[in-house]
Amino acid sequence: MFRATKGKSFVFNDYFEQQGDQRNAYARPTKSVYIIMFWDGQQVREKIQRICDSFTGNRYELPPMNQMDYEIQRVSQRIDDAQNVFDQTKTSLKDQLVIFNRLDVNDRQNDDISTIYIYKMFLAKEKALFQTLNMMKMQNTTFIGYFWAPAEEERNIMDKISNKFPTVRMVRYENHTIPRPTYIKTNEVTEIFQLIVDTYGVPQYQEANPATITIATFPFFFGVMFGDMGHGSLIFYFAMYLIFNAEKLR
C-alpha cells in the first residue's frame, strides 16, 4: 500500500479472534482489521479502494473524530441486538426440535426413540423405493423393469421372487440390442487379481479375461522387481499367517 501510493498512505493492522466455541480453538476464526490513513485525493482514494476490493474484504468509512464515540456506541448496540435475536432464535428452535422429537406430545420424559430419526429412515426408504420405480416402465397398473443376472442364478432368483412376491413374474428377454455387461465370478484367491486387472480396464462381454494370466505373471514380476530375500520372507510368512488364520481374523 505504501509503495502503491508513493508514500502517501499509512496502514495499521491488527488481528483478533471472533467469539465462538470456547472449547474449540479452531471454531474461533481469526480476522484482520486494518486502518488506512492517507492524504485525501481522488486518485489515491480510488487506488486504495481497488487494492482493498482485491482482497474481498469489507470497507468502512471512518466518521469524523468528534463523532467516533457515538458511532462506536451505535455499532455496539446493533451487535448486542443481533446477538440477542440470535440467542432467542436458537433457544426457540431447540425447544421446537425437542417437542417435535417426542413421539407423544404429552410425554415429558426423554425417550431413547427419536421421531426425527424414524422420519429420516422412512424418507430414506421411500426415496430408495421411488428411485427403483423410476427405473421401471409403467403400463396400466403394472411396472415393467429389466435387469441383468447370471444365467446360472436364474432359477435361484425366480424362486426367491416367487416366494416373497407371488404376483411378480420374471421372464427372459432376448430380443434386444443392449450391450451386455461383464460378470466375472471370483473367489478368495482370484478376487485380488481381478481387482488389479479392473484398475486398467474391465473386459467386455465374452472377452478373454487377463486375470487368469495375471495370477501367475504378477507374483513373478513382483518378485523380480522386489528381489530382497529378507523383506520378501517377512511378507511371505505374514501372508501365510493371514491365509491359515483367515477364519479367526474375520
pLDDT band for 81, please (50, 70, 90 cuts).
very high
Contacts of 240 (CB under 8 A, 6+ apart): none
34 within 8 A of 6, measured Cβ to Cβ: no
pLDDT band for 28, please (50, 70, 90 cuts).
low
48 within 8 A of 87, measured Cβ to Cβ: no
Cα(97)–Cα(50) distance, integer angstroms? 46
Q: Could you read off the pLDDT of 215-236 as tens digits, one per residue?
A: 888 888 887 877 777 888 888 8
Angle, in degrees to the nearest 10, between helices 115-134 and 68-100: 80
pLDDT band for 88, please (50, 70, 90 cuts).
very high
Kindly give the pairing relationship between strand 9-17 and strand 30-38. antiparallel
AA identity, residue 18: Q
The helix or strand, by DSSP H or E, that contains position 229, with its residue range, turns out to be helix 229-244
The yes-or-no verdict on residue 61 having pLDDT over 90 is no
Cα(21)–Cα(15) distance, integer angstroms? 18
pTM for the model stands at: 0.43
Q: Could you read off the pLDDT of 100-127 as tens digits, one per residue?
A: 777 555 555 555 667 788 888 999 999 9
- Residue 16 or residue 75, greater confidence: 75
Contacts of 110 (CB under 8 A, 6+ apart): none
Per-residue pLDDT at 89: 94
Per-residue pLDDT at 96: 83
Classify each residue of 70-94 as buried b or exposed e, where b means 16 or more C-beta atoms within 10 Å of its C-beta: eeeeeeeeeeeeeeeeeeeeeeeee
Cα(189)–Cα(31) distance, integer angstroms? 57
Write the burial class of residue 135 (CB in 10 Å: 0-12 exposed, 13-18 middle, 19+ buried): exposed
Q: Could you read off the pLDDT of 128-141 as tens digits, one per residue?
A: 989 988 888 888 87
Q: Which three cell numbers stand for residue 28?
A: 474461533
Mean pLDDT of 136-164: 86
